Structure 1
Amino acid sequence: MTNANPLVIAGASYAGVQLAATARELGFAERIILIGDEAHLPYQRPPLSKGVLTGKTTLDQLPLRGAGFYEENGIELMLGRRANALDLHARRVALDDGSTLDYGWFALAVGARCRPVTLPGVDLEGVFNLRTLDDALNVAQAADRCQRACIIGGGFIGLEVASALRARGIAVTVIEAQRRLLMRAFPLRMSDYIEGAHRSRGTEVLTGRGVRALHGLQGRVAAVELDDGARVDCDLVVFGIGVLPNVELARDAGLTVDNGIVVDMLGRSSAPQVLAVGDVANMARPPAPGEPARARLESIQAANDGAKAAASLLIGHEQPCTAVPWFWSDQFNLKFQMAGLPQPGDHAVLRGDMAGDRFSCFYLRDGVLVAAHSVNKPSDHIQSRKLIGAGVRLSADQLADESFDLRKVAITALDPAAA
């Protein structure tokens, strides 16, 4: 290991840890320094809105890697520290304690933060965002003495929190300003399904409703006031209204920023030797008809795939990120698995039984499978990712027929000799 061109990574996120681990695995021999602004070892985030709230996930299950991994691989952890300024000319980063680090490569894996909330009453006791482990622990503790919760925001985080709190027997109301749940991620059919799934499990769902203020009693939240003056009583409020990418460090240094740090398919920013990976990166995507040329994807898979591509650049064997985007969400007994990026106008094809909570919805664009949403159908999801990546043409009748063997088609598409 040498010190001539160290890799300094700001952000001990999934992307930051994956970049460090893959770089070392691929043979990067320089010093690696991983800076994290939390005191905890880098940890898994999906359980924060699920298992941590229900008690099914314990703290010792959360670390991404054990402490020994970093030591064994020569990855220096600087926890409880934050990168404050980036000097591109000197190739130096300044930390919040006044110290500086010189770099050969610098990577921004600083993720995103919860959108700020400025409503009256937001400072009342019992009102939370949920982004970090400490946030989740605070919500879980508050839930121990909670009878009724309001979740403001009907996206994935809000709905996962709602399902976790319902599992604890807490009365839950979800308030969504858009006219339907998950409007940014799901087409109408899937939004309607997930709203029905929550309602049938006892969650009250209010869509197309804004929030005017939070009201308290003796310093603790007691009600949410809606935009029409109606009030929803509660003793716990969790906001899930989305996130903003942490672009300030990059912007102040002069990097190109547009809904995240603009990077190519190897994670390269507009500055030499500076990378961005994970939720903060607005990454170029392989050309595809009807799809955006770049996207900022908030998912573990995108973070890991982008980090692996960036690591390949470090060792001179470039492998651009071309992976099919995929995501998942656990709510109640429902496992949502999503592959690809459906667009308005795609032809939706249902396979399976929505009423039985076991189905897939496929999306065709000019006869090519481009995306799939599966509920409790893991095999469909796995094959869909392969088929989407291969650009396979399928008919609506084939996809709707549950006897049609997707696995066989996927095998043939990936290896024609196997046909």
Structure 2
Amino acid sequence: MPERVVVVGASLAGLRAAQAVRSAGHAGALVVVGDERHAPYTRPPLSKQLLAGEQEHADCAFPVPETLDAEWRLGAAAVALDRERKVLALADGAEVGYDRLIVATGARARRWPDQVDGVHTLRDVDDALALRAALDARPGRVAIVGAGFVGCEVAATARKAGIDVTLIDVAPRPLLPLGAELGERAAELHRAHGVDLRLGTAVAAVDAGGVTLDGGARVDADVVLVALGAIPNTEWLASSGLALDERGGIVCDGTLTSVTDDDILAAGDVVSWPHPLAAGEVVRVEHWTVAAEHGALAGRNALADAGERTAHVAPPYFWSDQYDVKIQAVGFPARAATLEVVEEDGPRLVAEARDADGRLVGAIAFNNAKKLAAYRRELASAGVAA
């Protein structure tokens, strides 16, 4: 068993990894490094309850038991990794040695090229509080560039507060992972709540006073949010020799162990690993549940020899709350050859995602948690069998 375990990343995946290390019986040193000054907190409320003022930062904090007995190094980002010496360099000049390392540095918001001050992104609690302050000032209009999950959730939160919203995306529909039919239903949901959708529309420029579209048309706004996805925080590993893929993910085997170094594991948004439900292809998933599951598994696996580690085969799961609709999905619906609505009752529906051979690879539900749970169990069994 390693004497010293270091976890880099103090958000959900990192916290779950640290907890799993202790639960698995590690009695040695445990160090958790985080670039934010804040103790671990959950992020889903940032675009919803916290943004709406229904929760505060303290309400989002994860409970951290004293029995974790970890050394916390917060507010000091990792800047380099020396695998030969087994030393992690921090931005404050300190070095931290390890026997086993778990990388859970997460991702950061993708910014607009040459993004200027006054244009918001939303990834951490400070971003959310800054955006909330801007919305509390009762702006005449909010412009959101990007109709993914963050963009759509912020649009819903702002509309519920009575603020006019323009939602802009180059894609023909919002929420692309939902497919064409359900993406169009999501568009109808936002239109029904008064959102001005500008879909299939490219953006030429973004500034604090609005958005300029291709062709020169202008969307003036008092608050501008760029919600164009996230970039994994792995640049600090560039000189380490650790294998990274073209998307910046740490290339791991099924046990979340780096393919380059058996003493390094990864968890959460930074991991690229082969999943059985994706026909063994390498995937990278940025969802809350996956981060939690990865952290727990990486923590347990860090205490085992490489040949004795367990693979991650659980189907990815995510949810999104928009207005009065809870959207849930499991598996890999975006990779499906067909997506068919198989059950519908008013605002409730279920859609099945199948590959070219007709095998179930995912499911999506609107306001139907019970049915989605059944699909989740079915896909979990399929992943184990594969």
Alpha-carbon RMSD across the aligned residues, in angstroms, is 2.0
Structure 2 residue ranges without an equivalent (≥5): none
Give yes or no for the alignment of 1:42 onto 2:33: no
Question: Bigger relative contact order, structure 1 or 2, given CA contacts below 8 A and separation 6+?
Answer: 2
Residue in structure 2 matching 1:140, options 119, 132, 137:
132
One-letter amino acid of the structure 1 residue matched with residue 226 of structure 2 = F
Q: Is the 1:338–1:372 contact (alpha carbons within 8 Å) kept by the matching residues of 2? A: yes
Aligned to 2:253: 264
One-letter amino acid of the structure 2 residue matched with residue 212 of structure 1 = A
CA distance in structure 2 between the aligned counterparts of 1:63 and 1:234, rounded to whole angstroms: 32
Aligned to 1:72: 67
Q: Is the 1:35–1:82 contact (alpha carbons within 8 Å) kept by the matching residues of 2? A: yes
Structure 1 residue ranges without an equivalent (≥5): 216-220, 393-412, 415-419
TM-score by length of 2: 0.93
CA distance in structure 2 between the aligned counterparts of 1:77 and 1:147, rounded to whole angstroms: 43
CA distance in structure 1 between the aligned counterparts of 2:368 and 2:380, rounded to whole angstroms: 19
Distance 1:388-1:151 versus aligned 2 partners, 3 A rule: same
Deviation string 1:395-416 (CA, Å, 9 cap, x unpaired) is xxxxxxxxxxxxxxxxxx99xx
Aligned to 1:100: 95
Partner of 1:32, secondary structure, is strand
Aligned to 1:406: none
Give yes or no for the alignment of 1:10 onto 2:3: no
CA distance in structure 1 between the aligned counterparts of 2:161 and 2:254, rounded to whole angstroms: 43
Give yes or no for the alignment of 1:231 onto 2:226: no
Residue in structure 2 matching 1:284, options 271, 274, 286:
274
Aligned to 2:54: 56
Aligned to 1:222: 209
**1:346 offset after TM fit, Å?**
2.6
**1:332 offset after TM fit, Å?**
0.9
Q: How many residues align?
A: 376
Residue in structure 2 matching 1:341, options 326, 332, 335:
332
Aligned to 2:287: 299
Q: Is the 1:370–1:391 contact (alpha carbons within 8 Å) kept by the matching residues of 2? A: no
Aligned to 2:105: 110
**1:347 offset after TM fit, Å?**
4.9
Percent sequence identity is: 34
Distance 1:72-1:55 versus aligned 2 partners, 3 A rule: same
Partner of 2:377, secondary structure, is helix
Partner of 2:152, secondary structure, is helix
Aligned to 1:160: 153
Give yes or no for the alignment of 1:248 onto 2:240: no
Q: Is the 1:267–1:307 contact (alpha carbons within 8 Å) kept by the matching residues of 2? A: no
Aligned to 2:204: 212
CA distance in structure 2 between the aligned counterparts of 1:249 and 1:176, rounded to whole angstroms: 31
**1:214 offset after TM fit, Å?**
3.4
Partner of 1:271, secondary structure, is coil
CA distance in structure 2 between the aligned counterparts of 1:387 and 1:378, rounded to whole angstroms: 14
Residue in structure 2 matching 1:22, options 20, 23, 39:
20
Q: Is the 2:102–2:299 contact (alpha carbons within 8 Å) kept by the matching residues of 1? A: no
One-letter amino acid of the structure 2 residue matched with residue 362 of structure 1 = E
**1:303 offset after TM fit, Å?**
1.1
Deviation string 1:6-39 (CA, Å, 9 cap, x unpaired) is 1111110211001000111111222111011111
**Structure label with greater radius of gyration:** 1
Q: Is the 2:18–2:68 contact (alpha carbons within 8 Å) kept by the matching residues of 1? A: no
Deviation string 1:222-241 (CA, Å, 9 cap, x unpaired) is 33211121111210001101
Partner of 2:243, secondary structure, is coil
CA distance in structure 2 between the aligned counterparts of 1:299 and 1:214, rounded to whole angstroms: 27
Deviation string 1:146-191 (CA, Å, 9 cap, x unpaired) is 12100100100110111111111100010001122122x1210111
Partner of 1:130, secondary structure, is coil
Aligned to 2:123: 131
Give yes or no for the alignment of 1:372 onto 2:363: yes
Partner of 2:154, secondary structure, is helix
Give yes or no for the alignment of 1:362 onto 2:352: yes
TM-score by length of 1: 0.86
CA distance in structure 1 between the aligned counterparts of 2:300 and 2:37, rounded to whole angstroms: 29
Distance 1:124-1:312 versus aligned 2 partners, 3 A rule: closer
Partner of 2:112, secondary structure, is coil
Deviation string 1:370-390 (CA, Å, 9 cap, x unpaired) is 211001101011111011223
**1:312 offset after TM fit, Å?**
2.4
Partner of 2:3, secondary structure, is strand
Q: Is the 1:369–1:387 contact (alpha carbons within 8 Å) kept by the matching residues of 2? A: no
Give yes or no for the alignment of 1:311 onto 2:309: no
Distance 1:124-1:19 versus aligned 2 partners, 3 A rule: closer
**1:95 offset after TM fit, Å?**
1.1
Residue in structure 1 matching 2:189, options 197, 201, 221:
197
